[in-house]
């Protein structure tokens, strides 16, 4: 008899088939003469209902061990279920208990636990319905992303995690060093002597794979990188992580309009794919987490995103009849309350804001004709705010050098990046999607810590 996954059995198992499954007990119900246990193996939201008859050898002994959390293998025959809630159930004649879970100490008993509590048991929370659904949807999002790019001929490139550059220039870097922090080598002027460090210079965990993705786009035309990125920004919010995953496509021979078109098609594709492949999990989110999740998905797939310039956005915000906490003024960055007003109140759908003031954006963004704005774009999503940030890149050597200097950086440090503008430069563009913000948007989960298996946030790196 072959072992089968529960999702597949619930979908296509037929009465009279003999099957064996392995998983963890979710609940046990003892009735007169028989008992039900629900077994879940993570393959789907639903558990398999298993019926144990009291004529099973060692019935009483085994039943005592079948508490919530115990790991089991059950074998038997599938029968059509009389109860409602499931099409098919398993009548077992053989049960093996791998490991028990003491009901006195196993923290995940059958009751609703708060997400705050579940964060304190990050090693066990994936065994709950909510986290099972989150991580299956997260997996589907990742699959949809690869599918989208692979179908369009993009090369998946792997950019480094340790780098010597600060792509965003925001100084939110985690240092990487092998120096002995108790005995740091010093130069004559008492500065840290990085020549003695592992890489002979200061290095960091990457904040973005973009600069290296640009290198690869200058050879392969269309590429994407999808990996972990790190930011030491001390923001304790429901939308910031110190370690998060980012998807960054980079396209040669592409301008800002092409960049926005791709980003919009990309988000639509991911939503479509997840609705098709995870309908039960999505239904679960709609019922239990946020009852606008399915309507939002429908809205994303079927409506064009709104597109406005930063200058237009500022005008709309100045006209708004709401009292914002932060000032609105041409030249100031949009705050989360402004972003949310635009997509939640005004347009009621994602909004792509473009052409931001040059002084609030990164050095690599292409300077517009007016020399005041850059060809940047952010996609703002209801409840999340910024979900994608992207731009057309500065392909003109002289302008790029000026921009680097203006931001207090040294062109020599980016010699290889500038070389791309010296040898066969082309207009090019790309964007970065915050993967966890996407999963939040998709599932309606309120806190970003609950859409990544092991969140890293200020003062928290457990598990």
Of 156-185, which residues contact ligand 4AD (CB under 6 A)?
A: 167-168
Say whether 287 sits in a helix, a strand or coil.
helix
Instruction: Tell me the CA end-to-end span of the chain in Å, nearest whole number.
Output: 37
Say whether 241 sits in a helix, a strand or coil.
coil
User: Taking CB under 5 A as the rule, does residue 390 contact Mg ion?
Assistant: no
User: Taking CB under 6 A as the rule, does residue 248 contact ligand 4AD?
Assistant: yes
Which of ligand 4AD, Mg ion, none does 172 bind, CB closer than 5 to 8 A by kind? none
User: Taking CB under 6 A as the rule, does residue 230 contact ligand 4AD?
Assistant: no
User: Taking CB under 6 A as the rule, does residue 339 contact ligand 4AD?
Assistant: no
Q: Determine the Cα–Cα distance for residues 159 and 31; give it in Å rounded to an integer.
A: 58
Spell out the residues 6+ positions from residue 188 whose beta carbon is closer than 8 angstroms to its own. Answer: none
Nearer to ligand 4AD, 72 or 379 (CB): 379
Token readout for 29 is 């119900």
Taking a C-beta distance cutoff of 8 angstroms, is the pair 434, 270 a contact? no
Region binding ligand 4AD by CB under 6 A among candidate stretches 9-17, 301-309, 411-419, 430-438: 430-438
Which of Mg ion, ligand 4AD, none does 432 bind, CB closer than 5 to 8 A by kind? ligand 4AD
The b/e string for 142-175 (b: 16+ C-beta within 10 A; e otherwise) is bebbeebbeeeebeebebeeebebbbbbeebbee
The b/e string for 385-403 (b: 16+ C-beta within 10 A; e otherwise) is bbbbbbbbbbbeeeebbeb
Sole binder of ligand 4AD in the list 286, 436, 443, 451 (CB under 6 A): 436
Q: How far is the CB of 119 from Mg ion (least distance, A)?
A: 26
CA angle 36, 41, 45 (to 5 degrees): 85
**Closest of 263, 297, 306 to residue 278, by C-alpha:** 297
Taking a C-beta distance cutoff of 8 angstroms, is the pair 277, 402 a contact? no
Backbone angles phi, psi at 80, to 5 degrees: -60, 140
Q: How far is the CB of 385 from ligand 4AD (least distance, A)?
A: 8
Q: How far is the CB of 68 from ligand 4AD (least distance, A)?
A: 34
Sole binder of Mg ion in the list 389, 427, 430, 444 (CB under 5 A): 389
Sole binder of ligand 4AD in the list 246, 251, 400, 404 (CB under 6 A): 246
User: Taking CB under 6 A as the rule, does residue 430 contact ligand 4AD?
Assistant: yes
User: Taking CB under 6 A as the rule, does residue 247 contact ligand 4AD?
Assistant: no
User: Taking CB under 6 A as the rule, does residue 394 contact ligand 4AD?
Assistant: no
Q: Are strands 306-309 and 222-230 parallel, antiparallel or unpaired?
A: unpaired
Nearer to ligand 4AD, 51 or 388 (CB): 388
Q: Determine the Cα–Cα distance for residues 231 and 95; give it in Å rounded to an integer.
A: 48
Q: Determine the Cα–Cα distance for residues 291 and 134; give it in Å rounded to an integer.
A: 16
CA angle 64, 69, 74 (to 5 degrees): 70
Which of Mg ion, ligand 4AD, none does 210 bind, CB closer than 5 to 8 A by kind? ligand 4AD
User: Taking CB under 6 A as the rule, does residue 350 contact ligand 4AD?
Assistant: no
Which of Mg ion, ligand 4AD, none does 271 bind, CB closer than 5 to 8 A by kind? none
Sole binder of ligand 4AD in the list 210, 286, 354, 373 (CB under 6 A): 210
Taking a C-beta distance cutoff of 8 angstroms, is the pair 6, 44 a contact? yes
Region binding ligand 4AD by CB under 6 A among candidate stretches 239-247, 312-320, 344-352, 395-403: 239-247
User: Taking CB under 5 A as the rule, does residue 434 contact Mg ion?
Assistant: no
User: Taking CB under 6 A as the rule, does residue 264 contact ligand 4AD?
Assistant: no
Nearer to ligand 4AD, 73 or 233 (CB): 233
Kindly list the residues in this chain that would bind ligand 4AD in the complex (CB under 6 A): 167-168, 208, 210, 231, 233, 240-241, 244, 246, 248, 386-391, 430-432, 434, 436-437
Kindly list the residues in this chain that would bind Mg ion in the complex (CB under 5 A): 389
């Amino acid at each position: 008899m072959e072992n089968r996954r529960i999702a597949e059995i619930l979908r296509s198992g037929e009465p009279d088939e003999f099957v064996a499954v392995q998983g963890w007990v979710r609940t046990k119900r003892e009735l007169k003469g028989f008992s039900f246990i629900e077994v879940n193996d993570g393959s789907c939201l639903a558990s398999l209902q298993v019926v144990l008859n009291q004529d099973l050898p060692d019935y009483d002994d085994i039943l005592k061990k079948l508490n919530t959390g115990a790991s089991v293998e059950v074998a038997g025959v599938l029968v059509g279920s009389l109860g409602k809630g499931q099409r098919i159930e398993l009548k077992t004649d053989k049960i093996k208990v791998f490991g028990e879970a003491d009901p006195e100490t196993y923290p995940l008993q059958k009751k609703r636990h708060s997400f705050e509590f579940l964060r304190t048991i990050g090693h066990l929370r994936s065994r709950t319905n909510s986290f099972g659904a989150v991580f299956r949807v997260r997996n589907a999002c990742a699959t949809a992303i690869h599918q989208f790019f692979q179908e369009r001929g993009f090369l998946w490139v792997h950019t480094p995690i340790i780098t010597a550059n600060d792509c965003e220039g925001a100084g939110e870097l985690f240092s990487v060093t092998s120096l002995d922090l108790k005995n740091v080598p010093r130069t004559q002027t008492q500065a840290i002597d990085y020549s003695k460090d592992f890489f002979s210079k200061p290095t960091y965990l990457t904040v973005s794979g973009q600069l290296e993705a640009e290198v690869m786009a200058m050879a392969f035309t269309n590429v994407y990188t999808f990996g972990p990125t790190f930011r030491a920004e001390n923001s304790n919010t429901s939308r910031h992580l110190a370690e998060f995953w980012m998807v960054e496509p980079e396209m040669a021979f592409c301008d800002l309009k092409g960049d926005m078109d791709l980003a919009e098609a990309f988000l639509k594709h991911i939503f479509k794919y997840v609705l098709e492949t995870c309908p039960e999990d999505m239904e679960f989110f709609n019922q239990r987490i946020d009852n606008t999740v399915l309507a939002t998905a429908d809205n994303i797939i079927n409506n064009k995103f709104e597109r406005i310039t930063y200058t237009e956005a500022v005008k709309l915000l100045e006209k708004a009849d709401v009292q914002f906490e932060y000032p609105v003024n041409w030249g100031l960055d949009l705050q989360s309350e402004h972003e949310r007003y635009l997509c939640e109140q005004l347009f009621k759908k994602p909004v792509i804001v473009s052409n931001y003031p040059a002084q609030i954006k990164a050095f690599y963004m292409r300077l517009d004709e007016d020399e005041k704005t850059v060809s940047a774009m952010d996609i703002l999503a209801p409840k999340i705010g910024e979900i994608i940030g992207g731009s057309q890149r500065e392909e003109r050597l002289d302008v790029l050098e000026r921009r680097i200097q203006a931001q207090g950086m040294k062109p020599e440090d980016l010699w290889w990046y500038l070389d791309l503008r010296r040898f066969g430069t082309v207009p090019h563009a790309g964007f970065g999607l915050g993967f966890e913000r996407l999963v939040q948007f998709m599932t309606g989960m309120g806190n970003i810590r609950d859409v990544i298996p092991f969140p890293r946030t200020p003062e928290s790196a457990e598990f």
